[in-house]
Structure 1
Amino acid sequence: MKLIIQIPCFNEAESLPVTLAELPREVAGCSVVEWLVIDDGSSDQTAEVARSLGVDHVVRLPVNRGLAMAFMTGLETALAAGADIIVNTDADNQYDARDIPTLVQPILRGEAELVVGERPISDTEHFSWLKKRLQRLGSWAVRLASGTQVADAPSGFRAMSRGVAERLNVFNSYTYTLETIIQAGRSNIRVASVPIRTNADMRPSRLVKGIANYVKRSMTTIVRIFATYKPLMFFWLISSIFMLIGFGAGLRYLVLRLLGQGEGHIQSVILAAACVTIGLLIFVLGFLADLLSVNRRLLERIEWRLRRLEYSRLPKSGRDSES
């Protein structure tokens, strides 16, 4: 059983030695433990530092492509290197590496295929009140969309089986955390959540650039999640809002008409007609979006089969590469 621990990096030459010093080289149930660093177009010596510290696989992207792309590049590299289990962690040592066996064990026992670490968010001092609430909102949205019970969906500390890594796709360029859980849940992949520990902050988050930016990014991600993975529910909710406004305006006009006060309220009729028409159009759009989502799921299955064929033919290699 081969375990590969992957670390997406962007300008992490200073923090990487601390993170690597905590990573295990032995995990119960795994015969081989290897490290993988994905250098996402760093301008410092991240790749060189990784090689000097004995990292088994180093992939260097020529330009910064974002966390989601670095994550997916890591999965592809780990699969090509013959990984049976892949653990993803952060380069800033946010997650306690001593909990890696905790993440891996449910997979080894056959209880789960994707395991997400649950951080003690309520006790995390550097998280503001608003950020804690947004973390909970994001996790709730993911649970609703995915049908899973993941307590901390934005957590990047997670383990997955080879089969899961072959099936995942990420379309959001900002982050992979929420989308991959939803894909797993909708693909009937067994997802589990386990409590983990965290370390003190080494530096400010590069993903969260201010609370306003975090709110904007979080809300945009949540809306896109529902539009992509729950299109029928998403468009029908919007449609129902317009329909209710339209019916309300129409009912108001009818009541005024019955009371003999209908003159001068033609605006209500226009509003009712416009809202009902828009609501019906969005209602139909929901059907079309749902049909497209079915097609997308079929394409995901085809891609999964192609990936399995591709990786089964590749020789297991530990060579460094550039992509």
Structure 2
Amino acid sequence: MNKVIVVIPALNEEASIGTVIRKVPRAIAPSVVVEVLVVDDGSTDRTVEVARQAGVDHIVHHERNRGLGAAVRSGLKEAYRLGADLAVMIDADDEYPAEYIPQAIQPVLRDESDYVLASRFRRPVRGMKLYRRLGNYTFTVLQSLLLRKWITDGQTGFRVFSRAVLRDFEIIHDYNYAQVLTLNIVRQGYRLSEIEIPYKVRTTGQSFITWRYVLRVLPAIWREMRRTATERAGA
């Protein structure tokens, strides 16, 4: 039996989080048990109430807003503590297709991969704002160059983690996780793969990405790349 825990970090996502939870496939296979865990990162709206009404299994509370990186870290570590054989992280804004979770976990279940990125850019993308598209392309190319491995969507908010990765990953930046997490995991020697997903324009809330994002994320990338294996082991 494989336990899959779907981790959803959320900050003031009452308009969409119920939809995302209800879209999570529960009956993937007889040998797979699916649970949903929401990380409430200091929401001031009805996010928690709506999540409970939608059937969430676990909730992790941050008393105050700590940042997306901190929320993802808390959720994945809790999934490991709860005994997940693998975890799926998906954003709470319904931009990513939760119905693709069965396809996304297959490379890990088949022991072909340890870490899966669900890529929006393996097919034509329509409707994404220009600054977001450019930001995605820029950071994805940067990660590909640093890792010497081609990826197509380094910013995706839909990822799968094996239990070993859940044990060993580190996110050194509370503000965000996207770039430093992939660098951290792949540099430890874990196998990375991608699957193709469709893109859906966000219809609720506000995007996390702004031009200020670049100024906060680049120092984190630099810090992660400077870390040695010894420093990672002692962290």
Q: Could you tell me the TM-score, scaled by structure 1's length?
A: 0.68
After superposition, give the CA deviation of every residue in 1:116-141 in whole Å (9 maximum; x if it has no partner): 0111375231321x432221110011
Within 2, Cα distance between the matches of 1:216 and 1:52?
Answer: 35
| Structure 1 consecutive aligned stretches of length 4 or more whose deviation exceeds 4 Å | none
Equivalent position of 1:156 in the other structure: 157
Distance 1:98 1:113, change over 3 A: same
Equivalent position of 1:123 in the other structure: 125
| Matching of residues 2-81 of structure 1 within 5 Å | 2-28=3-29, 30-81=31-82
Deviation at 1:5, TM superposition (A): 0.4
Deviation at 1:203, TM superposition (A): 2.0
SS at match of 1:78: helix
> What's the RMSD between the two structures over aligned residues?
1.9
Distance 1:224 1:41, change over 3 A: closer
Within 1, Cα distance between the matches of 2:172 and 2:88?
Answer: 21
Within 1, Cα distance between the matches of 2:116 and 2:172?
Answer: 21
Equivalent position of 2:110 in the other structure: 109
Alignment of 1:186 onto 2:187: yes
Equivalent position of 1:301 in the other structure: 233
Amino acid at match of 1:300: R
Q: Higher strand share goes to which structure?
A: 2
Amino acid at match of 1:125: G
Q: 1:148, 1:191 within 8 Å by CA — same for their partners in 2?
A: no
Distance 1:132 1:166, change over 3 A: same
Within 2, Cα distance between the matches of 1:150 and 1:91?
Answer: 23
Amino acid at match of 1:31: V
Equivalent position of 1:216 in the other structure: 212
After superposition, give the CA deviation of every residue in 1:252-272 in whole Å (9 maximum; x if it has no partner): xxxxxxxxxxxxxxxxxxxxx
Amino acid at match of 2:176: T
Q: 1:146, 1:184 within 8 Å by CA — same for their partners in 2?
A: no
Q: 2:13, 2:205 within 8 Å by CA — same for their partners in 1?
A: no
User: Structure 1, unaligned stretches of length 5 or more?
Assistant: 209-213, 232-292, 304-323
Within 2, Cα distance between the matches of 1:172 and 1:88?
Answer: 17
Higher relative contact order (CA 8 A, sep 6+): 2
SS at match of 2:133: helix
Within 2, Cα distance between the matches of 1:108 and 1:205?
Answer: 34
Within 2, Cα distance between the matches of 1:62 and 1:136?
Answer: 34
Within 1, Cα distance between the matches of 2:73 and 2:24?
Answer: 21
Q: 2:42, 2:64 within 8 Å by CA — same for their partners in 1?
A: yes
SS at match of 1:178: helix
Q: Could you tell me the TM-score, scaled by structure 2's length?
A: 0.91
Within 2, Cα distance between the matches of 1:52 and 1:98?
Answer: 20
User: Structure 2, unaligned stretches of length 5 or more?
Assistant: none
Equivalent position of 1:202 in the other structure: 203
Deviation at 1:111, TM superposition (A): 0.9
Q: Higher helix share goes to which structure?
A: 1
Amino acid at match of 1:96: P
SS at match of 2:51: helix
Equivalent position of 2:93 in the other structure: 92
Within 2, Cα distance between the matches of 1:39 and 1:204?
Answer: 15
Percent identity, aligned pairs only, is: 30
Deviation at 1:20, TM superposition (A): 1.5
After superposition, give the CA deviation of every residue in 1:220-264 in whole Å (9 maximum; x if it has no partner): 423541x22444xxxxxxxxxxxxxxxxxxxxxxxxxxxxxxxxx
Deviation at 1:143, TM superposition (A): 1.1
Q: 1:145, 1:229 within 8 Å by CA — same for their partners in 2?
A: no
Distance 1:25 1:125, change over 3 A: same
Which has more radius of gyration?
1
Distance 1:299 1:27, change over 3 A: farther
Equivalent position of 1:137 in the other structure: 138
Within 2, Cα distance between the matches of 1:39 and 1:224?
Answer: 24
Deviation at 1:186, TM superposition (A): 0.9
